[in-house]
Amino acid sequence: MKISGFSYVRNGFEYDVPFREAIQSVLPVCNEFVIAVGNSTDGTREAIAALNSPKIKIIDTVWDMSLRIGGKIFAQQSNIALDNISGDWAFHVQADEVLHEKNLDQITDYIQKYQNDEQVDGLLFPFLHFWGGYNYIRTSRRMHRYEIRVFRNNKYVRAYRDSQGFRIYKNKDSYEQGLEKGKKLKVIKTNIPIYHYNAVHSPNRMRYKVQHFGSCYNGGKQVQIDDTLNLLQRVDRLKLFDGQHPEIMQARIKSQDWEFVFDPSKAVWRKKDKIMQPVEDFIGYRFGEYKNYILLRNR
Q: CA gyration radius for the chain? A: 19
The confidence band for 204, taking pLDDT boundaries of 50, 70 and 90, is: confident
Answer whether 35's CB lies under 8 Å from 4's CB: no
Q: How far apart are CA 60 and CA 57, in angstroms?
A: 10
- pLDDT tens, 274-286? 999 999 999 999 9
Residue 23, classed as helix, strand or coil, is: helix
Taking the mean position of all CA atoms in its chain, how far away is CA 3? 18
Q: Could you tell me if residue 186 is inside a domain?
A: no
Number of compact structural domains in the chain: 1
In the prediction, which pLDDT does 163 show?
Answer: 84
Average pLDDT over residues 112-139: 96
The confidence band for 223, taking pLDDT boundaries of 50, 70 and 90, is: low
Average pLDDT over residues 201-220: 78
pLDDT above 80 for 118: yes
Beta bridge partners of 33: 5, 56
- For 98, the domain range is 3-110+147-178
Q: How far apart are CA 258 and CA 209, in angstroms?
A: 16
Higher pLDDT among residues 208 and 157, named by residue: 157
Q: Could you tell me if residue 39 is inside a domain?
A: yes
Chain mean pLDDT for the chain: 92
In the prediction, which pLDDT does 219 show?
Answer: 64
In the prediction, which pLDDT does 55 show?
Answer: 98
Q: Could you tell me if residue 203 is inside a domain?
A: no
Answer whether 157's CB lies under 8 Å from 168's CB: yes
Q: Could you tell me if residue 29 is inside a domain?
A: yes
Average pLDDT over residues 242-261: 96
Residue 102 CB burial class (10 angstroms; 0-12, 13-18, ≥19): exposed
CATH number, residue 79: 3.90.550.10
- pLDDT tens, 167-194? 999 988 888 878 899 999 999 999 999 9
Q: Could you tell me if residue 258 is inside a domain?
A: no
Q: How far apart are CA 115 and CA 89, in angstroms?
A: 9
Short-list 161, 9, 186, CA closest to 80: 9
In the prediction, which pLDDT does 232 show?
Answer: 85
Residue 189 CB burial class (10 angstroms; 0-12, 13-18, ≥19): middle
In the prediction, which pLDDT does 286 show?
Answer: 94
Q: Could you tell me if residue 238 is inside a domain?
A: no
Answer whether 127's CB lies under 8 Å from 145's CB: yes
Q: Could you tell me if residue 160 is inside a domain?
A: yes
Average pLDDT over residues 127-155: 96
Q: Could you tell me if residue 152 is inside a domain?
A: yes
**DSSP symbols for 277-295:** HHHHHHHT--TT----SEE
